[in-house]
């Protein structure tokens, strides 16, 4: 599961970050396999801005669940620093750290200026990923004689958050792929198929590994499950119409959408999965069948944190499937090819 540390109406960002750490402990208790955090800068409704710092806090408060980033936006950072950060995390929490990497840059020119990086850095994403990986293997040649201690010699699974050309990069470098079927499952399946066909085994991933990301809400009724998706979906609509992703509001407080907003809201909800357990189970099975996903990454957030936890608990029950299983056993082992 992925938590962006979304703020709720009237909540301070600091409280949202603390909520994320508490939520990670609850996710571990429910049996989830991974808990990831994200990187957003200067977004009023999202407090998750320092994913490696938050990963450290979560790993220290949990004992089993894998913790990582979904992702560190590599254009915003020097590869050496990212390697050092993940190397430190892995040294402190061996075998529990995931390195999810994205290519997004700041949403506005002001943010990009404050970060000191621009769109041209996104064009060099592949170069930066190669340099970053080289600090772990000791084989980076961009800066001769420079070492990324304590990362050198450590093994941290790397994931590329991408579509299109990003899937090609993940295949070329032998990394896991994380993809959201934003354009529909057919488009995602095409990218995934190309990734699997062109995959080159690596020391990190001997086999292709695909994580499909989507929002899932589970409740007693279909209508209530859809309501759980509305606060975040509406915030996304506002980000596209007003340029600001606001704090989440209760579904009852959301305004009646206009024609354009209704269309955008429909586009946002399309592809997301909601319903009763009896509805969601088959829907997830169809998604996995269409995409060949090895693992699902759930990103749902809503205004009421208790209802969000209840939805994730119901989803965990669906994933477990039978007594004695753990949520981690649902994902395919990384060292065995289908």
For residue 327, what pLDDT is reported?
54
Inside any domain, residue 32? yes
Inside any domain, residue 67? yes
Listed in order, strand segments (DSSP E) in 239-337 are 273-275, 295-298
For residue 139, what pLDDT is reported?
96
Mean pLDDT by 10 residues, the chain (338 residues): 98 98 98 97 96 98 98 96 98 98 90 90 94 97 97 98 87 97 86 96 98 97 98 96 94 94 94 96 95 96 98 94 46 51
Q: Is the dihedral of CA 42, 43, 48, 51 positive or negative?
A: negative
For residue 191, what pLDDT is reported?
94
For residue 338, what pLDDT is reported?
55
Inside any domain, residue 92? yes
Inside any domain, residue 135? yes
For residue 323, what pLDDT is reported?
39
For residue 331, what pLDDT is reported?
47
For residue 299, what pLDDT is reported?
95
For residue 79, what pLDDT is reported?
98
Inside any domain, residue 253? no
Inside any domain, residue 93? yes
For residue 140, what pLDDT is reported?
96
Inside any domain, residue 232? no
Query: What contacts 147, CB < 8 A, 6 or more positions away?
Result: 135, 138
- The DSSP symbol for 213 reads E
For residue 337, what pLDDT is reported?
72
Q: For position 166, which CATH number holds?
A: 3.20.20.30
Question: How many structural domains compose the chain?
Answer: 1
For residue 49, what pLDDT is reported?
97
Inside any domain, residue 236? no
C-alpha closest to that of 62 among 92, 98, 21: 21
Tell me the angle at which helices 277-291 and 185-198 cross, rounded to the nearest 10 degrees: 40
Domain extent, residue 85, equals 2-220+277-330
């Amino acid at each position: 599961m992925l938590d962006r540390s979304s703020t709720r109406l009237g909540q301070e960002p600091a409280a949202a970050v603390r909520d994320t750490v508490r939520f990670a402990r609850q996710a571990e208790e429910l049996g989830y396999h991974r808990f990831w955090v994200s990187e957003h800068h200067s977004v009023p409704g999202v407090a998750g801005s320092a994913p490696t710092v938050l990963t450290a806090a979560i790993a220290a408060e949990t004992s089993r669940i894998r913790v990582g980033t979904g992702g560190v936006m590599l254009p915003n950072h020097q590869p050496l620093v990212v390697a050092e950060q993940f190397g430190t995390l892995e040294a402190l929490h061996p075998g529990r750290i995931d390195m999810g990497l994205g290519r997004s840059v700041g949403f506005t020119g002001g943010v990009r200026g404050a970060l000191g990086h621009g769109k041209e850095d996104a064009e060099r994403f592949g170069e930066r990923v190669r340099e970053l990986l080289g600090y772990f293997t000791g084989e980076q040649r961009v800066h001769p004689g420079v070492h990324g201690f304590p990362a050198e010699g450590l093994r941290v699974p790397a994931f590329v958050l991408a579509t299109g050309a990003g899937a090609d990069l993940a295949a070329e470098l032998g990394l896991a792929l994380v993809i959201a079927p934003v354009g529909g499952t057919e488009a995602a399946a095409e990218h995934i198929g190309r990734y699997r066909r062109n995959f080159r085994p690596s020391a990190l991933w001997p086999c292709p590994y695909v994580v499909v990301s989507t929002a899932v809400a589970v409740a007693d009724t279909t209508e209530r499950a859809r309501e759980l998706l509305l606060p975040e979906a509406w915030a996304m609509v506002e980000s596209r119409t007003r340029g600001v992703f606001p704090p989440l509001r209760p579904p009852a407080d959301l305004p009646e959408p206009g024609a354009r907003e209704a269309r955008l809201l429909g586009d946002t909800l399309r592809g997301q999965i909601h319903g009763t357990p009896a509805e969601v189970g088959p829907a997830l099975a169809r998604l996995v069948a269409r995409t060949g996903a090895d693992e699902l990454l759930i990103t749902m957030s809503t205004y009421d944190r208790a209802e969000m936890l209840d939805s994730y608990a119901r989803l965990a029950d669906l994933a477990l499937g039978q007594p004695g299983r753990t949520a981690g056993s649902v994902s395919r082992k990384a060292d065995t090819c289908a």
